[in-house]
């Protein structure tokens, strides 16, 4: 109430009163008008679609069309008493029922009893049930028989945002009309028309922000427009609209994306700071970034993006300019980063940090080399390889059967083989290391668990009838080897291996004990490390590898022997 007068909100004041005013639902209007003109009007209709797209308005227009005093026509006159009563919601023959608050079986039974009577002063009794999916199962069952065989003077119009919740038995008895989300240009055109009638000065940029806030709903867009007019009056500025609606200025998105492709990290982070200063939700900002990069990708990928993207002509033109020197692959790589960041923000404690990290990664992405250029470089590398000797182990592999079978580089004069390392002699007083290695190999064949412990022991003394084994002090292997059962088992295995009774002694040795040779496990580790170092030196110095580094501008990070 203001100055004793009632203010009617824009969504009610400019509600469509005939089919021609129904924006964005031309396919529904045309079908219903054709049905009316041809006399093929069904007894039950189901209008489905998102909120605020015109379902209930269409139901009222349909009711006026059927009951208009000037006759059944494809447009109501809106001036006869019947049309006026339906518009005001006071008609005694048109019942508008909220399915959410009248969802019980008793409500439907009362309705079923009332529709038996002829209309008081109209052609039809018309039952409009909004949010019909809210009816209970018993209510649907009570309605089913009437819906299947209704009186000739009754028409049903159901509206719902969730048709999947309706029983199949109800769906099969209705003509279904799916209402689309209203496109952005059509919402903007309607808002521009209303702005003219209300004498409001507003730019197309502001209208686009308001329309986008509605997300395809004409009613939500008009509600947002009402809010803007309440704040700004009849002169609306772009800055006020962006602040009031909490919307990100499209120009800021364009600046941030341009900075990302230019690698300008300073501008990127300054843009995030600006978003944070106005208190905008960081996850929503990330979603708008995703939408912006998706728009760029579509523009670079199809010939007619205006048929796919819900954007104004000015926005399309701006995106066209920005996408001129950007490849689809560059856009895709960055879009993947933002999608991953958005999914991580659901439960994040620092959403701004996640957005900043994603934007910095996007700005610092190394450019990809075109595939044709890579192919040319590979060809040049192949040409160089033809005139270059193979890697040493590759050359030897064809002449060494054991190495070829095992997938190992063979022994060469430049590098001792693994076998040579494991059979190196030990001091005479401790016995040959080869004997110890053979004994452990024998134990492994007989008792794998015992052998796995002996591999970590050093043959401190090894002579006929006696083997003294040292294990690192405090180790698990020392504890296991000192058990009486373990020593007894090793004695049996040693007697079998040597043919004589052999005493087994276990002692603790300190790390680096000079008189003890390396254990087999230590020897294997040292051999592997030495082999890896030699392989690395050979790879680094090989002409083919050096040429690959030169051609691709790369460096060796790891060398693996398979």
What residues does CATH 3.40.50.300 cover in the chain?
10-178
Average pLDDT, integer, range 34-59:
91
Q: Which stretches within 149-264 are classed as H helix?
A: 168-171, 184-197, 204-214, 218-232, 238-245, 250-262
SS3 percent helix, strand, coil of the chain, rounded to 5, is 55, 10, 35
179 falls in which pLDDT band (50, 70, 90)?
very high
pLDDT at 550: 74
Listed in order, the ranges of the chain carrying CATH 3.30.300.180 are: 423-525
Q: What is the pLDDT of residue 562?
A: 61
Architecture of domain 10-178: 3-Layer(aba) Sandwich (3.40)
Q: Lowest mean pLDDT: which of 2-16, 347-361, 434-448, 455-469?
A: 2-16
Task: Provide the pLDDT confidence category of residue 387 given band limits of 50, 70 and 90.
Answer: low
Q: Which superfamily does 423-525 belong to? A: DnaA, N-terminal domain (3.30.300.180)
How far apart, in whole angstroms, are the C-alpha atoms of residue 158 and residue 215? 23
pLDDT one-digit tens code per residue, 409-460: 333 333 333 333 333 333 333 334 868 889 999 999 998 989 889 999 988 8
**Three-state secondary structure along 365-422?**
CCCCCCHHHHHHHHHHHHHHHHCCCCCHHHHHHCCCHHHHHHCCCCCECCECCHHHHH
Residues 217-244 have pLDDT tens digits of 999 999 999 999 988 888 888 888 887 8
- Predicted pLDDT of residue 415: 33
Q: How far is CA 7 from the centre of its chain?
A: 45
pLDDT digit string, tens, across residues 194-220 = 999 999 999 888 898 899 888 889 999
pTM score: 0.59
Average pLDDT over residues 68-94: 88
CATH code: domain 184-245 is: 1.10.8.60
| Per-residue model confidence (pLDDT) at position 372 | 67
Q: What is the pLDDT of residue 4?
A: 53
pLDDT band at 84 (very low <50, low <70, confident <90, very high): very high
Q: pLDDT value at position 225?
A: 92
pLDDT at residue 16 greater than cutoff 50: yes
pLDDT for the residue 512: 62
How many other CB atoms sit within 10 Å of the CB of residue 299?
22
Query: What DSSP string runs through 427-478?
Result: -GGG--HHHHHHHHHHHHHH-HHHHHHHTT-EEEEEETTEEEEEEETT-HHH
Query: For the residues 336-348, what does the mean pLDDT come to?
Result: 90
* pLDDT value, residue 249: 75
Q: What percent of the chain has pLDDT over 70?
A: 86
Name which residue leads in pLDDT, 540 or 222: 222
C-alpha–C-alpha distance, residues 35 and 58, integer Å: 14
Averaged over 486-512, what is the pLDDT?
88
* pLDDT tier at 381, thresholds 50, 70, 90: low
Say if residue 395's pLDDT is above 50. Answer: no
Give the integer Cα–Cα distance in Å for 85 and 91: 5
pLDDT at 417: 33
Specify the domain boundaries for CATH 1.10.8.60 within the chain.
184-245
Q: What is the pLDDT of residues 282-339, one digit of tens each?
A: 998 999 999 999 999 999 998 888 888 888 888 888 888 888 888 888 899 999 999 9
pLDDT at 32 over 80: yes
Mean pLDDT across the stretch 386-407? 43
Residue range(s) occupied by CATH 1.20.272.10 in the chain: 250-363
For residues 478 and 485, what is the distance between their CA atoms, to the nearest angstrom? Answer: 14
How high is the pLDDT of residue 360? 94
What is the predicted pLDDT for the residue at 48? 93
pLDDT of residue 513: 60
pLDDT in tens, 64-75: 999 998 888 888
| Topology given in CATH for the domain delimited by 250-363 | Zinc Finger, Delta Prime; domain 3 (1.20.272)
- pLDDT of 385 reads 59
Is pLDDT above 70 for 397?
A: no
């Amino acid at each position: 109430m203001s100055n004793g007068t009632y203010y009617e909100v824009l969504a009610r004041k400019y509600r469509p009163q005939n089919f021609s005013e129904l924006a964005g639902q031309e396919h529904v209007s045309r079908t219903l008008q054709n049905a009316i003109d041809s006399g093929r009007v069904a007894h039950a209709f189901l209008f489905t679609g998102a909120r605020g797209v015109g379902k209930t308005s269409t139901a009222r227009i349909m009711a006026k069309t059927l009951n208009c005093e000037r006759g059944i026509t494809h447009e109501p006159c809106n001036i006869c008493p019947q049309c006026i009563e339906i518009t005001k919601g006071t008609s005694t023959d048109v019942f508008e029922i909220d399915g959410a608050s009248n969802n019980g079986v008793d409500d439907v039974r009362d309705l079923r009893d009332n529709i038996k009577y002829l209309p008081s002063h109209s052609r039809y009794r018309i039952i409009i049930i909004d949010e019909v999916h809210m009816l209970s199962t018993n209510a649907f069952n009570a309605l089913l028989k009437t819906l299947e065989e209704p009186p000739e003077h009754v028409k049903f119009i159901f509206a719902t945002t969730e048709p999947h919740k309706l029983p199949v038995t109800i769906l099969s008895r209705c003509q279904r009309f799916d209402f689309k989300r209203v496109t952005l240009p059509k919402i903007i055109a309607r808002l521009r028309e209303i702005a003219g009638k209300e004498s409001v000065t507003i730019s197309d940029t502001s209208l686009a922000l308001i329309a986008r806030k509605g997300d395809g709903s004409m009613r939500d867009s008009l509600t947002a427009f009402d809010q803007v007019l309440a704040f700004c009056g009849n002169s609306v500025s772009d800055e006020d609209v962006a602040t009031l609606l909490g919307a990100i200025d499209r120009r800021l998105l364009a600046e941030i994306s341009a900075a990302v492709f230019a690698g300008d990290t300073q501008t990127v982070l300054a843009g995030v700071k600006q978003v944070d200063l106005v208190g905008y939700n960081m996850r929503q900002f990330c979603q708008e970034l995703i939408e912006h990069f998706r728009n760029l990708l579509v523009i670079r990928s199809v010939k007619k993006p205006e048929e796919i993207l819900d954007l104004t002509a000015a926005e399309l033109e701006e995106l066209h300019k920005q996408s001129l020197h950007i490849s689809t692959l560059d856009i895709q790589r960055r879009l993947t980063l933002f999608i991953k960041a958005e999914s991580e923000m659901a439960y994040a404690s620092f959403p701004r940090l996640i957005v900043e990290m994603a934007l910095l990664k996007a700005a610092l992405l190394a450019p990809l080399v075109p595939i044709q250029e890579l192919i040319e470089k590979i060809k040049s590398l192949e040409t160089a390889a033809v005139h270059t000797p193979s890697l040493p182990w590759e050359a030897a592999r064809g002449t060494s059967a054991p190495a070829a079978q095992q997938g190992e580089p063979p022994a060469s004069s430049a590098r001792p083989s693994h076998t040579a390392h494991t059979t190196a002699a030990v001091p005479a007083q401790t016995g040959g290391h080869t004997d110890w290695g053979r004994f452990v190999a024998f134990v492994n064949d007989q008792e794998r668990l015992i052998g796995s412990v002996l591999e970590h022991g050093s043959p401190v003394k090894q002579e006929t009838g006696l083997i003294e084994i040292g294990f690192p002090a405090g180790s698990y292997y020392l504890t296991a080897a000192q058990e009486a059962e373990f020593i007894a088992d090793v004695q049996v295995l040693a007697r079998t291996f040597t043919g004589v009774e052999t005493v087994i002694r276990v002692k603790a040795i300190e790390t680096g004990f000079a008189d003890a040779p390396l254990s087999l496990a230590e020897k294997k580790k040292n051999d592997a490390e030495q082999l890896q170092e030699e392989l690395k030196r050979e790879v680094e110095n090989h002409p083919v590898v050096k040429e690959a580094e030169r051609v691709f501008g790369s460096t060796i990070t790891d060398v693996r022997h398979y």
